[in-house]
Structure 1
Amino acid sequence: MIPTPDLSHLTSQDYDQVYEPAEDTFLLLDALEEDAKNLRDINACVCLEVGIRLCLELYWKNSWPFLYLCTDINPHACKCTVLTGKQNHIDLNVVNGSLVAPFGTRLANNVDVLLFNPPYVPTSEEEVSDAQLSRELGGSWAGGSDGMRITNVLLGRVEGLLSPEGRFYLVALKQNNVPQIVDTMRQKYGFLGEVVLQRRAGREHLFIIRFVRESKNSSS
């Protein structure tokens, strides 16, 4: 069991500006723990988390000796993540920027583990645009009319990021239409998707979808 990190240095003012760990964060952690043996079997070395969720970086970095990169559009989230790493004596590679834009082509087909807990809540298109422009807390949850506006941008970039045996873990909400996400990834980008965990959290029904290239065995 991975120990809970020390977050005592964070204040209520911090949580007014960054996403506090919640059920979606812990569900993704559970999926990674269940898949740990398979990730060791593929000798995963590079992990990229898009959209910082406090705790996730520390849980996973603590359990795995690899390069862990994380990006977020919210500068407050980046700052809090760096401070949390120091509080727990762990160096984290944190980059402030939108999705994978800060890396250009430097990570092309070199990411072994790609994690994305996106802004998946259905909102108005105006709300998601404002959230992205402000680069504040709303950017962590406002997802547009079907909750997929930001997710769809990253889905189009997965093929160019993942290593041949790499795995992509996506958090989704029932309203995001999970079967359609899986079908899109196979038809457009050649990835097999499988729901590896799901959980109800209040009114939300959350899913973790794992994707691998179609030539790989999705059940492995």
Structure 2
Amino acid sequence: MIPTPDLSHLKSEDYKHVYEPAEDTFILLDALEEDADELRRSKPLICLEIGSGSGCVSAFAGAILGPSAPLYLTTDINPYACRATRATGRQNRVPIEPILTSLTGPLRRRLRHAVDIMLFNPPYVPTDTDEADDAQQRANIAGAWAGGHDGMEVTNTLLDQVESLLSAKGRFYLVAVKQNDIHGICQRMLSQHGLKGETVLQRRAGREHLYVLKFTRQSSNP
């Protein structure tokens, strides 16, 4: 087993501002570990995490791939999260470069068809649209969970950007819950963007039914 990244440098005060790793985080770690051999064989050059929060997921990717293999980039709208991500990278000896921006921000043009691994544990909890909009505008911890109508308002924006970022061998891992319409997400990504989706893992966590979906180009090889 690949150990969970060391987060001992983050204290209770930090988690007032930054999302604390929970079951949705851990199912994504488990999905990456399940694909670890394939990820290593693909020899990725760029790993991009959207909404990095504590930095736990990117640090875990670094544990799989090695600290000097790909370039580890992250984005988050929350400045506290960017600082926590950088600190988590240092704590785990993974050189993570956090960027304070919404979703892919200025990276979209620079990284066109260049991202080999893309990771997103989005705000997927269904809420009022106003609540989701307010959370994004305030760029605070609520932005980590308030997902608007069907929990998909933020995710929908990112889904339209994925194809333009993924390399020929790229993989996009997305955390979702049953209410997000898993089948609908996969159909949309295939019909609109030509990306093939599959469920890597699913499990129940309290009242939530969590999924990790993986999207690749139809011509990509495992």
Structure 2 distance, partners of 1:15, 1:94, is 18
Q: Which moved more, 1:113-122 or 1:1-10?
A: 1-10
Contact 1:27 1:197 in 2 (8 A): yes
TM-superposed CA distance for 1:58, in Å, is 1.5
Is 117-126 or 64-73 further displaced after alignment? 64-73
Mapping of 1:3-82 within 5 angstroms? 3-54=3-54, 55-64=56-65, 65-82=69-86
What is the letter of the counterpart of residue 183 of structure 1? Answer: Q
Gaps of 5+ in 1: none
Query: 1:174: Cα distance to partner?
Result: 0.4
Residue 131 in structure 1 maps to residue 121 in structure 2:
no
The corresponding residue for 2:100 is 96
The Cα shift of 1:82 comes to: 1.4
Following superposition, the deviation at residue 39 of structure 1 comes to 1.9
Structure 1 residue 38: Cα displacement: 1.7
* Deviation at residue 107 of structure 1 after TM alignment: 0.4
Asked if the contact 1:82–1:94 (Cα under 8 Å) also holds between the matched residues in 2, the reply is: yes
Q: What's the CA shift string for 1:132-185, capped at 9, x where partnerless?
A: 000000000100111000101111011100001111111001000000000000
Aligned-partner Cα distance in 2 for 1:5–1:35 = 17
**Is the contact between residue 113 and residue 168 of structure 1 (CA under 8 Å) also seen in structure 2?**
yes
Paired residue for 1:161?
165
* Aligned match for 1:194, one of 175, 188, 198: 198
Q: RMSD of aligned C-alpha atoms?
A: 1.3
Work out the CA distance in 1 between the residues paired with 2:149 and 2:162. 22
Distance 2:35 2:149 in 1: 32
Secondary structure of the residue that 2:155 maps to in structure 1? helix
Equivalent-residue separation in structure 1 for 2:88 and 2:33 (angstroms): 21
Residue 88 of structure 2 is aligned to residue 84 of structure 1: yes
- Provide the C-alpha distance between the structure 2 equivalents of 1:43 and 1:212, rounded to a whole number of angstroms: 15
Q: Which residue of 1 aligns with 2:179?
A: 175
Q: Higher mean Cα deviation, 34-43 or 20-29?
A: 34-43
Deviations along 1:42-91, whole A, 9 cap, x unmatched? Answer: 22221100011422121211221211111101111111111222233332
Q: Using the TM superposition, give the Cα deviation of residue 21 of structure 1 relative to its aligned residue in structure 2, in angstroms.
A: 0.6
Distance in 1, Cα, partners of 2:8 & 2:199: 34
- Name the SS of the counterpart of 2:149 in structure 1: coil
Distance in structure 2 (CA, Å) of the matches to 1:33 and 1:91: 20
Please list every run of at least 4 consecutive aligned residues from structure 1 whose deviation after the TM superposition is greater than 3 angstroms.
none
Number of residues of Structure 1 aligned to a counterpart in Structure 2: 218
CA distance in 1, matches of 2:44, 2:211: 23
In the alignment, residue 34 of structure 1 is paired with which amino acid? E
The amino acid across from 2:154 in the alignment is I
CA contact (8 A) 1:95 1:102 kept: no
